[in-house]
Structure 1
């Protein structure tokens, strides 16, 4: 009886629970069951969405800075590929593999890491992946054969992939829909720099010191990020926080009847069943959910183009314009500026559009509303590719080439952000798994596209090579999001019970 009284006098523990945390628990259960452990309404200090803004930005910035290093490592090798290939006697396919194998690992890693974060929480998964990535990135710097370098790159990429699996989950955990644009914009700001800064740093290191310092320097930075994440990153996964609260209640009161909605849903299932079902969830989403399939294909196409640019841009300046390795790396600044401008303008536009829709009488936000911002970017991306390709083909002034790549990166980033927000809001219960499913396809194109890019430019030239990609982008990038815009709501309604 004492335990019961104790529970009833804790309004911060027993209250209504949002539907996304309850699954099949009814409204009556929520109101009448004194042992149900849930976030209090309208405010709960432990609910990540009710955290102080400073703490929300803290976890967002820690994740963003972690992503900077991991994404930078994916591209830092690009300017030094010829040097590494010469040292290890690698052919062109093997040197391309040394760069791209990292991205192949980021396709498979999230399929495991995303579901694990929904079972065990975001925090332990982030910490474990940080240490794993550090170990194998150091190994890359000490590689004494092409086999060891390629294997270490793959294993490092597997650890790095957690950033892709965790980003959607953490941002969905702590930020509300009206803050979606700004939070995505700030989060993406630092990682987007990493993709372009990597080749710049790599170019100067390749020209002035050994290529091994690319990995040793990023490992030193990773040590700092490990220490920062252990001290400054908080658990954001709601069910994990509630489970810890229920365990604390059971321990303090001695009453074992306290439970969470998630525990009740899985009460008659073994831990192995729960884990197994979670691990196959990304593949189920990818196989049976048209929303995930279409949005993943759109974002994957543009992601593959990004890595075509990142893997070949340096070679363009060295072979077509006879510039040095160091100077060739500086042109990646135009890539970074285009992505940063696209992310910041896109973020502002997302929030403005959301507020405008919310201000209408009797309006209700639907995830499909995010897709209106996809179309301007879907036009600008191919247009930038046309300009970049034909300017490079005719060896026009380097500024014109950089302007073209700026426009292309701007458009692709404007397309990617609304798609990411749409997936996050379509699958709020399983943002980690949905993000993992999307990242699987994106990473595959990032791995595969650079493998055929050199041959494509050799046969078609930069003009027709980029034009071919641009025409495919126009033919696919406009009708596909239009289909989701019209049919997305019905597809979401059918898909939700099978998640």
Structure 2
């Protein structure tokens, strides 16, 4: 797209374009500009503006993204119950078998750093379809692997394609939903993918007992092919710059007048495609390196996300080794994980919107990303309480229902912490939501990859009681002061960090 912006006589375009100061003014209120050649969405309503789409169309795009995320996230955990079987077949040691599971998550750390910025250059639709094809190919190869090296390598490459869902989620939801609808839209979006992470081990447990582990990958590849067919027909482009670029191209073609342009075409008018891509690809790293609000929010989010994968990767072992249950029955306990995440996401979605409206009214109607921070505190407390209950119930081998209640409360708390932090970065960087989301996801995926590696040793040394208590204490130490820093100083830190372009 960046290269195409220069095709139509750039000299004639530049002659009629405003200065950068004027550009900043008209970008806030494009309909008020007197420049007749600026192509922008009409105010107060424009049928092509994703934020003005009818509600059903918005939910269609959101649901396609959510259903696509279900499969890609389910694959990250589906092989957990079969790790012992796979390790035996390929003669893998404990580190290699853990790597086969978690290498997928490592790929989802690095994938969004590339895919997120690309979606801000070429649009969401192309990236969703291309990543879907990539994921389908490598996930299918996982099922045909005949060596541990081939399995680990194909898992990494499949994870890279799957990571597009993390990069696109913030961007698409930010494209179509307004801040007042953020909680509900996030709650509905994460509902199905969250089920994927928890349902994966349940399905994997039954497959490990009743058929070959390879069907874990073949069946999810079939599902992916179906979802690709749906996305090709139901998903529509949501990225504002690309929609406006297509409108400008159409007007230039129909009128024969090359002076029509968009704001983003003006910004990139003197930049080559290579320079545009380099700037975009460096943006997530820039956010992580120089923007304290991204660093702080990513740190909190990453820690709690890592806890999720500690539970997902070790929960089956607790039931098979500690409670001596079968693999099939151990997988059923992941229902508590799924229920906690579902209830947490839906409660948090409703709470976020109501609290945001109330705080916004107190601030004289002025919106601010920092208004999301008070929603983080209940999740921190619930998450820590759940960890204490889960850990000590498992330590003393109390009834299975007590352990599941503890896990349910833990998952509920994790969701009530994660959603407001995701909403915060979306609203703090509205022009670059995918890049901001990629920066946050990088930290989250790193902890999801690393935490399960040390979790078995931690439980062997400390036991479930003190192991979970240690995690809970760290969670309280991070989860309470850090949001307060953003609440009081976030606006100043964002201004001090400077704007992205």
Partner of 1:49: 51
TM-score w.r.t. the length of structure 1 is 0.94
Q: Deviations over 1:146-172 (max 9, x none)?
A: 000000000000000000000000000
Mapping 1:418-437, distance limit 5 Å: 418-437=420-439
Could you tell me how far apart the structure 2 residues matched to 1:361 and 1:262 are? Answer: 32
Please, which runs of 5 or more residues in structure 1 have no aligned partner? 1-18
CA distance in 2, matches of 1:436, 1:359: 31
Residue equivalent to 1:412? 414
Does the Cα contact within 8 Å between 1:97 and 1:150 map onto a contact in 2? yes
Distance 1:28 1:54, change over 3 A: closer
Which of 128, 131, 136 lines up with 1:129 in the alignment?
131
1:459 maps onto 2:461 in alignment: yes
Measured in 2, the distance between the counterparts of 1:317 and 1:28 equals 59
- Map Cα deviations across residues 56-102 of structure 1 (whole Å, 9 max, x no partner): 00000000000000000000010000000000000000000000000
Structure 2: where are the runs of 5+ without partners?
1-19
Instruction: Give aligned pairs, total.
Output: 481
Alignment of 1:362-401 (within 5 A): 362-401=364-403
Q: How does 1:435-474 map to 2 (within 5 A)?
A: 435-474=437-476
1:297 to 277, 281, 299: 299
Cα offset, 1:360, TM superposition: 4.8
Deviation at 1:31, TM superposition (A): 1.3
> Structure 1 residues 393 and 263, CA, compared in 2 at 3 Å: closer, same or farther?
same
Match of 1:185 among 181, 184, 187: 187
User: What residue is the counterpart of 2:4 in the other structure?
Assistant: none
Change (3 A) 1:215 1:454: same
Superposed structure 1 runs of 4+ greater than 3 Å apart: 21-30, 357-361
1:38-437 equivalence runs, <5 A: 38-360=40-362, 362-437=364-439
Deviation at 1:25, TM superposition (A): 5.3
**CA 1:172–1:393 in structure 2 vs 1: closer, same or farther (change >3 Å)?**
same
* 1:258–1:405 Cα change, 3 Å: same
CA distance in 2, matches of 1:93, 1:131: 30
Query: How big is the shift at 1:497?
Result: 2.2
Q: Deviations over 1:388-437 (max 9, x none)?
A: 11111111000000000001110110000111111100000000000000
State the Cα distance separating 1:28 from its structure 2 match. Answer: 9.6
Cα deviation, residue 459, structure 1: 0.9
8 Å CA contact 2:379–2:413 kept in 1: the answer is yes
> Are the counterparts in 2 of residues 23 and 261 from structure 1 also a CA contact under 8 Å?
no
What is the deviation of 1:491? 1.1
SS of residue matched to 2:33: helix
Secondary structure of the equivalent of 1:37?
coil
User: 1:12 corresponds to which residue?
Assistant: none
